[in-house]
Amino acid sequence: MHVTRGFKGERRPGMADRARLPPGQFLTPEFPVLTAGPTIHTPVDHWKLALQNGGSLIATWTWDQFEALPQTELQTDIHCVTKWSKFDTRWRGVTIDDIFRAAAVEVPPTSYLMAYCDGGYTTNLLVSDLIKGRAMIATRFDDLPLLPSHGGPARLLVPHLYFWKSAKWVRRLAFRNEDDPGFWESRGYHRRGDPWREQRYDGDPE
Partner 1 sequence: MNAPVASIPWLVATVVAIRSETASVKTMTFDVPCWPGHLAGQHVDLRLTAEDGYVAQRSYSIASAGGLGSRIDLTVDLVADGEVSGFLHEELTVGDRIELRGPIGGYFVWSPRQDNGLLLVAGGAGIVPLMSILRTRASAKSKRPARLLYSSRNADRIIYGDELDALAALPNGVVLTHTITRGAPPGWRGERSRIGRVMLTRREFMPADDPDVFVCGPTAFVETVAGHLVAMGHAASKVRTERFGPTGEQQE
Ligand X SMILES: Cc1cc2nc3c(=O)[nH]c(=O)nc-3n(C[C@H](O)[C@H](O)[C@H](O)COP(=O)(O)OP(=O)(O)OC[C@H]3O[C@@H](n4cnc5c(N)ncnc54)[C@H](O)[C@@H]3O)c2cc1C
CA distances from 9 to 15, 24, 47, 168 (A): 13, 13, 47, 34
Binding mask 138-177 for partner 1 (x = CB under 8 A): -----------x----------------------------
Residue 62's binding partner among ligand X, partner 1, none (Cβ under 5 to 8 angstroms by kind) is none
Tell which one of 14, 19, 30, 56 touches partner 1 (CB under 8 A): 30
Q: What is the rounded CA–CA span in Å between residue 23 and residue 10?
A: 17
Q: What is the rounded CA–CA span in Å between residue 58 and residue 154?
A: 19
Q: Is 82 in the site for ligand X (CB under 6 A)?
A: yes
Instruction: Label residue 174 exposed, middle or buried (CB < 10 Å: 0-12, 13-18, 19+).
Output: buried
User: Which residues in the 76-115 window bind partner 1 by CB under 8 A?
Assistant: 82-84
Q: Is 28 in the site for ligand X (CB under 6 A)?
A: yes
Beta-bridged to residue 137, according to DSSP, are 94, 156
Q: From the CB of 28, what's the least distance to ligand X, in Å?
A: 5
Q: Which residues bind ligand X (CB under 6 A)?
A: 26, 28, 30, 82
